[in-house]
Amino acid sequence: MRISDPKDMWAEGPSEKEIVQDVLSRYHHISSRFLAWCGVLGILFLLAVVVVLIRLSNGFEDRSEWGYYSATLLFIALTFMSTPIISAGLRLAKGQWRRSMTRVPELYGVVGMLGLLMLFPAIAALPPIEGRRTIWFEWPTFAPMGWDAVGVLALVLTGLAMLWMLAIPDLAKVRDHFPLSGRQKFITWLAMGWVGSVRQWRIHRLGVLTLGGMYLLLFPLVATLLGSELSAGLLPGYKDAIQPAYLIIVGVQAGLALTLVTMYVLRSTGGYERYLGVDQFWALSKPLLALSLLWFYFWWSSFITFWYGRQPSEVNIIRFLMFESYRIPFLMAFFLNFVMPLLALMWNPVRKSLAGPALVSVGILIGTLFNTIRLVVSAYSVPDPTLHLLTELPKGQVPGAIDLLIVVGGISGAVLLFLIASKIIPPFSLWEMGEGTRLVRVRRFMNRTVRVISKQN
Amino acid sequence: MYYRRTLTDEQINRELLGAVFSTPLWWVLLVSVLGFIVLGAASAVGFMVDQGLQVTGLNRSVFWGFFITNFVFWVGISHAGVMISAILRLSQAEWRRPMTRAAEVMTVFSLMTAAMMPLVHLGRLWRFYWFTPFDFARGIWPDVRSPLVWDPMAITTYLTGSVLFVYTALIPDLAVIRDRSTGWRKTVYGILSLNWHGNPRQWKLQAIAGILLSALILPVFVSVHSIVSWDFGVSLVPSWHVTVFAPYFVIGAVHSGVSAVVTLMAIMKKLYKLDNYIWEEHFDAVGRLLVVVATAWLFFFWLDLVFAFWLAEEQELTVWRLRLFHAPWSWLFLTFIVFSYVIPVPLWLSRRVRRNLTMMIITTLMVNVGMWLERFIIVVPSLMQKGPLTFDYAAYRPSIVEITIVGGTFALVAFLILMFSKFFPLIPLWEAKEGQRLGDAIKVGAISVPGIVKEE
Amino acid sequence: MTTVKQVPVRPDYKWSMVVDIDRCTGCQACVVACQSENNVPINDETSFQQHRAIEWIRIERYWEGEFPNVKARFIPVLCQHCENAPCEPVCPVYATYHNNSGMNVQVYNRCVGTRYCANGCPYHARNFNYKDPEWPDELKNQLNPDVTVRHRGIMEKCSFCVQRIRRATRAQSERVQDGAFQPACAQACPTDAIVFGDISNPQSKVARLADDKRNYKVLQALGTDPNVIYLKKVEA
């Protein structure tokens, strides 16, 4: 075995101490701009809450009133709650470039709390499960509200636990770095007495692996639950076995896009350019392209089966969701989630830039919102879900001012939760970045410089 | 931990080319036996063409049986090559090195075998050329609305791509053989190696070709099995008309194909004594990949199952009741799910099992038995079940002719791989040498952690 | 009753059939007539045991009720010549297509025997020749010279006796009169349960019977839009 002589290597990039110092000082400082943003988002969110409460007083007789609300729920669940998968997946794949960016998607796991809260009115607005399609079949005990809540709760708790566990070493650093204050007391409690002993690291590693694995299993379950409750179960004649898998792809694509946009913002406004560079954007743009292609593939699987078979019930579904009533949201989603990412990201110069993936990601997020609106608002607007065939296609439901407030406010609330969390838990995984400085060396290799990367088993 | 063995180029050349330059007795015996079986299957095909399909077990309800099951199965196995070669090459996984050629070669041969199956099952096999996009003086071309026309298009594209893949990766090794041979061998390998001399320009072209082919073959790989799945998906047969078939089949193909590659690697290691090149770590890594793939497959299977009951259509429920509750289908179903997932995957969670050669052979063989049964369970019960109108529903029992032909396909693939190994090395020499050069280690405190050199 | 698309009325004929279940006695005369008219291979006991019997038209029998009030119900099932046929787009060699007289046509010469069309047919109206047909020498003289004898490996099904249609429509330049010819099954039926004709001609018997309030189409929800219309049995 050739061992790289420490003398003929030089470490490139900042040392662990420098990273910790730099990141923690930025994280600790709460600028006025940050507070302003929190204020704006908070106001939008509160407005939305007020509006929802008013709607609640109207009750659930008119299901179509709750269409946009439920669409927002599905958007938040798919986009914001899929992000821990990105972190877990990248950790499984063991790429080195991921070390500086995995905390961002993990932090979005806190938005799960909002998702859980939003769940109850959306499910309450559903018609009773007798006589219509559901995944609860003949077993109505506690369904759908009870089991849906259990599923989403399990996912949220796993996400929070995973975030917490992954953050503990960094929280310990924060605890040790700054003098005691109100925020620090909370962080000290969160750090749970971490000192970095071998035993603690072993437990940590096991916990991270287990929780990551659990999240990877729970998210498809929740996507299946929400997709079938909020959308498929209300559409007559809609038997689409691939829809849960399609929603998972939609969610992971949107989650990845959200991560990229957040990274861009952190870079430009937070001053974190050293850690979020072209390497990260380039590496993430490849799965983004792959996910866009998968988006098309899963959509096409469903479409070709319905379209070719020419069954009246399925043809009417295609007309309803794609070609007639909801043509505009569908075309927007098709363009923003597939055509544009494909045409943009197939070029290496675009993938290797910063603005390229970020802009494409903004488009993807907008497209995902249109997609969830298309799937959920349409379903909630069907007057009789017990039919076997959608004979009359309801017209596309244009959002009212209140609907728009709910959508904007819900998303604002999600982002607000992230902002608050980012001031409690540092938005960079300091311990993983430190690990990286130890496992990567730069050295000479046949007249060139190369990176030597080692992988622990 | 990875234990890096230090091997010289000369040692690599000698050990990996051993099979090409010498012919052990076991090889001759095995090839003869397999060749005999293949001949038997070929005669069975001839007999069937002469007598008509009455010699099979097919009837007026079950028009598709063993042959189509076998077709889908071999297309599935052919997905291994791309998964391991292209995807692992693009993601720069080191542990792919000994497997790439064996996987690609298995792809080519299993795909060729798969392509033969829909021909064999035709009523008028001698008219098969009407599928070619050419007007053979009949005034009409094939109907592109038909999934049976998409199939040959996809399969021939995939086959062409895979052959190119194998060939471009083979060139440097062919040059090594050329340099070590005399006479006719030297001439033939000289022509095949396209004047390769290993200079920087040629290596650069080789690297670019490898990356381009890997990237281009990925969409083909996804689309081939999806198109095969749409043979079923676009029809109106209950329990075939399901939207999830495309990714379900693709991921099932990856599951079965990668398992087949593991079986092949394990057998290769034993037969050719390749302990220096195929290590426990390789099986460990593939085993972990298989756990992920198998679990994803299970998710799609569960989706298929759940949504079959979604609309509670009587027709579809009948098929599933047949599959789940009526012997012998219920036994076949149980065997399939136990062999494909319930036994192998929990075993693969254990590091000890993943590194144990015998266990890996057993579990991966189980997976493929289970996956063959899966295809059978998808194809036949749907055609067998009593519809709303039908006064003619029938059971299906494969005849000896069908069994012979299907068994012959397994012998054919093994035969072809063995013949290939006689003329070309099954482990890429240049990949092994590259792996040696790029191996390195880093001192972290008192420990040396093995590392890999990555170009910036 | 939702049809997927409205097929434009062709200026040509639109051949349709009306089958009156009330009149059908289950005598199977139509089956025998079809077999002799169209050179359908002889089905012996082995073919039925192997479930490979070729029947272009078959009588399905359903039992209703408990003894002593058992009733038998018969329904003749044949190729429905669907406007939205699931068997048509899947043939790779255009061996089956929809002609402009509303019929689903099977071209024996083109068929390579993939049997995909048979999988798609929800009425199970299609038959495959698993072997070459054999007739004893004495019976070879009764083969109809107007109809091809099919080789092994080829699909076949009811063709609405297209040889009779062709003979009638080609014999004269004017439009064929209603009732000038009939397919073999309609000709043989003793109770006139099967009526055939051009439904685009409002005066034809088929068009008038199709309007009967007992009318329905089999497996209508599948949206295949058949050209065979059934009339429900009247309960006594």
Which tokens belong to C214?
């007992």
**What's the gap in Å between the CA of A390 and the closest CA on chain B?**
14
Residue in B233, B303, B453 closest to A305 by CB:
B233
Burial class for C61, CB neighbours closer than 10 Å (0-12, 13-18, 19+): exposed
Say whether B124 and C111 touch across the interface (CB within 8 A).
yes
Is the pLDDT at A12 greater than 70, yes or no?
no
Residue in A310, A313, A388 closest to C84 by CB:
A310
Say whether B443 and A1 touch across the interface (CB within 8 A).
no
A390 interfaces chain C, CB cutoff of 8 Å: no
Q: Which residues of A touch B236 (CB under 8 A)?
A: 309, 311
How far is Cα of residue C234 from the mean position of the Cα atoms in its chain?
23
C2 interfaces chain A, CB cutoff of 8 Å: yes
A199 interfaces chain C, CB cutoff of 8 Å: no
Is the pLDDT at B356 greater than 50, yes or no?
yes
Say whether C84 and A311 touch across the interface (CB within 8 A).
no
Say whether A453 and B222 touch across the interface (CB within 8 A).
no
Which tokens belong to A338?
């597939």
CB count, 10 Å around CB of A419?
A: 16
* Residue C11: pLDDT band with limits 50, 70, 90: low
In angstroms, the CA C130 to CA C217 distance is 31
Which tokens belong to A154?
């399990």
Say whether B236 and C122 touch across the interface (CB within 8 A).
yes
Q: What's the average model confidence in pLDDT over B333-360? A: 94
- Cα–Cα nearest to A368, from A288, A272, A282: A288
Using CB atoms and an 8 Å cut-off, which of residues 3-62 of chain C contact chain A? 3-4
In angstroms, the CA A302 to CA A298 distance is 7
Question: pLDDT at position B1, please?
Answer: 38
In angstroms, the CA B4 to CA B115 distance is 41
Question: pLDDT at position A420, please?
Answer: 93
Domain contains A149:
yes
* Residue A457: pLDDT band with limits 50, 70, 90: low
- Cα–Cα nearest to A336, from A396, A403, A288: A288
Domain contains A370:
yes
Question: pLDDT at position A315, please?
Answer: 93
Residue of chain C minimizing CA distance to B395: C51
Cis peptide before B98 (omega within 30 of 0): no
- Cα–Cα nearest to A232, from A308, A164, A317, A291: A317
Q: pLDDT tens-digit profile of C25-66?
A: 999 999 999 999 999 999 999 999 999 999 999 999 988 889
Say whether C112 and B392 touch across the interface (CB within 8 A).
no
Q: State which residues form the domain around A33.
A: 6-453
* Residue C171: pLDDT band with limits 50, 70, 90: confident
Which tokens belong to A298?
């899963």
CA angle A171, A173, A176 (to 5 degrees): 110
Q: Return the percentage of chain A with pLDDT > 90, whole number.
A: 58
Say whether C116 and B146 touch across the interface (CB within 8 A).
yes
In angstroms, the CA B299 to CA B301 distance is 5
Q: What's the average model confidence in pLDDT over C92-102? A: 92
In angstroms, the CA B308 to CA B200 distance is 57
Q: pLDDT tens-digit profile of A153-163?
A: 999 999 999 99
What's the residue count for chain C?
A: 236
- Cα–Cα nearest to C186, from C74, C54, C78, C83: C78
Say whether A310 and C221 touch across the interface (CB within 8 A).
no
Interface test with A, best of B453, B455, B456 (most A CBs within 10 A): B453
In angstroms, the CA B288 to CA B355 distance is 11
CB count, 10 Å around CB of B15?
A: 20
Q: Return the percentage of chain C with pLDDT > 90, whole number.
A: 72
Is the pLDDT at C9 greater than 70, yes or no?
no
Using CB atoms and an 8 Å cut-off, which of residues 209-228 of chain C contact chain A? 221-223
Taking a C-beta distance cutoff of 8 angstroms, is the pair A224, A379 a contact? no
CB-side neighbour CA atoms (13 Å) of B276: 17
B234 interfaces chain A, CB cutoff of 8 Å: yes
Is the pLDDT at B56 greater than 70, yes or no?
yes
Is the pLDDT at A262 greater than 90, yes or no?
yes
Tell me how far apart the terminal alpha carbons of chain A are, to the nearest angstrom. Answer: 17
In three state form, how does the secondary structure of chain C look? CCCCCCCCCCCCCCEEEEEECCCCCCCCHHHHHHHHHCCCCCCCHHHHHCCCCCCCEEEEEEEECCCCCCEEEEEEEECCCCCCCCCCCCCCCCCEEECCCCCEEECHHHCCCCCHHHHHCCCCCCEECCCCCCCCHHHHHHCCCCCCCCCCCCEECCCCCHHHHHHHHHHCCCCCCCCCCCCHHHHHCCCCCEEEEECCCCCCHHHHHHCCCCEECCCHHHCCCCCEEEECCCCC
Say whether C131 and B387 touch across the interface (CB within 8 A).
no
CB-side neighbour CA atoms (13 Å) of B415: 18
Q: Return the percentage of chain C with pLDDT > 70, whole number.
A: 95
Q: Which of A53-62, A231-240, A298-307, A378-387 has maximum average pLDDT?
A: A298-307
Domain contains A280:
yes
- Of B273 and C130, the structure prediction assigns the larger pLDDT to C130
Q: Which residues of B touch C155 (CB under 8 A)?
A: 123
- Residue B139: phi and psi, rounded to 5, are 85, 0
- Residue C127: phi and psi, rounded to 5, are -125, 150
In angstroms, the CA A381 to CA A235 distance is 9
Residue in B91, B242, B451 closest to A453 by CB:
B451
**What's the gap in Å between the CA of B275 and the closest CA on chain A?**
18
Domain contains A78:
yes
Each residue of B285-294: b (16+ CB within 10 Å) or e? Answer: bbbebbbebb
Map out the domains of chain B with their CATH numbers. 9-131+142-452 (1.20.1630.10)
Question: pLDDT at position C1, please?
Answer: 40
Radius of gyration of chain B (CA): 23
Q: What is the mean pLDDT of chain C?
A: 90
Q: Which residue do the tokens 């080829």 mark?
A: C154
- Of A304 and B12, the structure prediction assigns the larger pLDDT to A304
Residue in C2, C3, C89 closest to A389 by CB:
C2
- Residue A375: phi and psi, rounded to 5, are -80, -35
In angstroms, the CA C210 to CA C233 distance is 14
CA dihedral A269, A271, A276, A278 (to 10 degrees): 80
**What's the gap in Å between the CA of B423 and the closest CA on chain A?**
33
A with B: how many residue pairs have Cβ under 8 Å apart? 134
Question: pLDDT at position C236, please?
Answer: 65
Question: pLDDT at position C2, please?
Answer: 45
In angstroms, the CA C158 to CA C80 distance is 9
Q: Return the percentage of chain B with pLDDT > 90, whole number.
A: 64
CB-side neighbour CA atoms (13 Å) of A10: 5
**Sequence-distant contacts of B33-40: CB under 8 A, at least 24 apart:** B34/B411, B34/B412, B34/B414, B34/B415, B34/B418, B35/B415, B37/B407, B37/B408, B37/B411, B38/B408, B38/B411, B38/B412, B38/B415, B40/B404, B40/B408
Q: What is the ipTM of this complex?
A: 0.92
* Residue B279: pLDDT band with limits 50, 70, 90: confident
DSSP string, B5-71: PP--HHHHHHHHTHHHH---HHHHHHHHHHHHHHHHHHHHHHHHHHH-GGGSS--SS----HHHHHH
In angstroms, the CA C145 to CA C123 distance is 29
In angstroms, the CA A166 to CA A66 distance is 37
Tell me how many domains chain A contains. Answer: 1
B241 interfaces chain A, CB cutoff of 8 Å: yes
Q: Which residues of A touch C84 (CB under 8 A)?
A: 310
Q: pLDDT tens-digit profile of B115-152?
A: 999 999 999 999 999 988 887 777 888 999 999 999 99
- Residue B449: phi and psi, rounded to 5, are -100, 125
Residue in C51, C112, C132 closest to B130 by CB:
C112
Domain contains A1:
no
Say whether B219 and A450 touch across the interface (CB within 8 A).
no
Say whether A297 and B226 touch across the interface (CB within 8 A).
yes
Say whether A315 and C3 touch across the interface (CB within 8 A).
no
Q: What's the average model confidence in pLDDT over B367-382? A: 95
Burial class for B199, CB neighbours closer than 10 Å (0-12, 13-18, 19+): exposed
Question: pLDDT at position C213, please?
Answer: 92
Question: Position B274: which residue type?
Answer: L
In angstroms, the CA C94 to CA B142 distance is 7
Q: Which residues of B touch A298 (CB under 8 A)?
A: 247
Question: pLDDT at position C108, please?
Answer: 93
Which chains reach chain A with 3 or more Cβ–Cβ distances below 8 angstroms?
B, C
Say whether B391 and C94 touch across the interface (CB within 8 A).
no
**Range of lowest pLDDT (A29-33, A229-233, A434-438, B379-383):** A434-438
A450 membership: H or E segment, kind and range: strand A448-454
Taking a C-beta distance cutoff of 8 angstroms, is the pair C127, C56 a contact? yes
Interface test with C, best of A239, A306, A310, A393 (most C CBs within 10 A): A310
The single-letter DSSP state of residue A3 is: B
Query: Within chain B, how many helices (H) and strands (E) appear?
Result: 19, 2
Question: pLDDT at position A129, please?
Answer: 80
* pTM metric for this prediction: 0.93
Residue of chain A minimizing CA distance to B246: A301
Question: Position B76: which residue type?
Answer: G
Going by their DSSP bridges, the two strands C96-98 and C104-106 should be labelled as antiparallel
Say whether A441 and B226 touch across the interface (CB within 8 A).
no
List all residues 6 or more positions away from B160 whose beta carbon is below 8 Å from its beta carbon: none
**What's the gap in Å between the CA of B406 and the closest CA on chain C?**
18
